């Protein structure tokens, strides 16, 4: 190869690498922006500020509830898949004085005492004197007649005086009656 050809080849090679680097950098910036991330050449101007969390207090609530489960007509796809859809209408009593509306999807073999369900419900009322609302997410299974349920507060769903609510609810069914035990944490109100 001649000296001129070698020089031209090296220059074109360097230009191609720089174009690839610029394209990669532009792509990385685009990904960061789409994820809501940012960066700066001056790290002091974008340094993270310490997050000051409010102190939360852990509490418990308990009581009973009444529930109406209303089966809904299945659509073609859910019927074929063996999935039932039900509406929930609850009234809580005790430390939680509230009503709730929700939807459940369920499947299983009642004859064998096995199945599973998922549900979402919005609870509105008063929890130990605080008025507001929140969402509960259910995940339940039954094996051989033994139930296992996980019911948690949906993060960020608390409203009114229940903003920041976190917790888990235990549902107890005995002698055909329903009760709950609710362990939760709530940001402590500032003293005025």
Strands 114-127 and 177-187: unpaired
Q: What percent of the chain has pLDDT over 90?
A: 55
Distances (CA, A) of 89 to 102, 136, 186: 7, 13, 25
Cα 153 to Cα 121: distance, rounded to the nearest angstrom: 10
Cα 170 to Cα 112: distance, rounded to the nearest angstrom: 24
Indicate whether 6 pLDDT > 50.
no
Cα 19 to Cα 76: distance, rounded to the nearest angstrom: 54
Cα 122 to Cα 98: distance, rounded to the nearest angstrom: 10
pLDDT digits 0-9 by tens, 146-178: 889 999 999 999 999 999 999 999 999 899 899
Q: What is the phi/psi pair of residue 56, to 5°?
A: -110, 150
pTM given for the model: 0.68
pLDDT digits 0-9 by tens, 45-91: 444 444 445 567 899 999 999 999 999 987 777 677 889 999 999 99
Q: What is the phi/psi pair of residue 144, to 5°?
A: 55, 35
Beta bridge pairs of residue 52: none
Cα 55 to Cα 116: distance, rounded to the nearest angstrom: 37
Indicate whether 12 pLDDT > 80.
no
Give residue 103's pLDDT: 97
Strands 84-94 and 96-109: antiparallel
Check residues 182 and 29 and name the one with the higher pLDDT.
Answer: 182
Cα 23 to Cα 10: distance, rounded to the nearest angstrom: 20
Task: Return mean pLDDT, the chain.
Answer: 78
């Amino acid at each position: 190869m001649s000296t001129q050809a070698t020089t031209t080849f090296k220059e074109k090679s360097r230009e191609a690498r720089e174009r690839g680097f610029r394209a990669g950098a532009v792509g990385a910036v685009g990904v960061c922006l789409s994820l809501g991330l940012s960066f700066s050449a001056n790290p002091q101007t974008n340094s993270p500020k310490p997050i000051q969390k409010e102190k939360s207090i852990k509490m418990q609530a308990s009581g009973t509830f009444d529930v109406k489960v209303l089966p809904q007509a299945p659509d073609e796809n859910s019927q074929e898949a063996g999935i039932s859809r039900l509406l929930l209408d609850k009234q809580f009593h005790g430390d939680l004085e509230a009503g709730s509306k929700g939807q459940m999807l369920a499947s299983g073999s009642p004859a064998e005492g096995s199945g599973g369900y998922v549900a979402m419900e919005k609870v509105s009322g008063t929890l130990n004197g605080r008025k507001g609302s929140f969402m509960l997410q259910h995940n339940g299974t039954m094996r051989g007649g033994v139930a296992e349920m996980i019911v948690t507060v949906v993060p960020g769903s608390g409203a009114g005086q229940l903003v920041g609510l976190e917790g888990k609810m235990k549902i107890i069914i005995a002698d055909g009656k329903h009760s709950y035990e609710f362990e939760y944490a709530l940001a402590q109100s500032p003293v005025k």
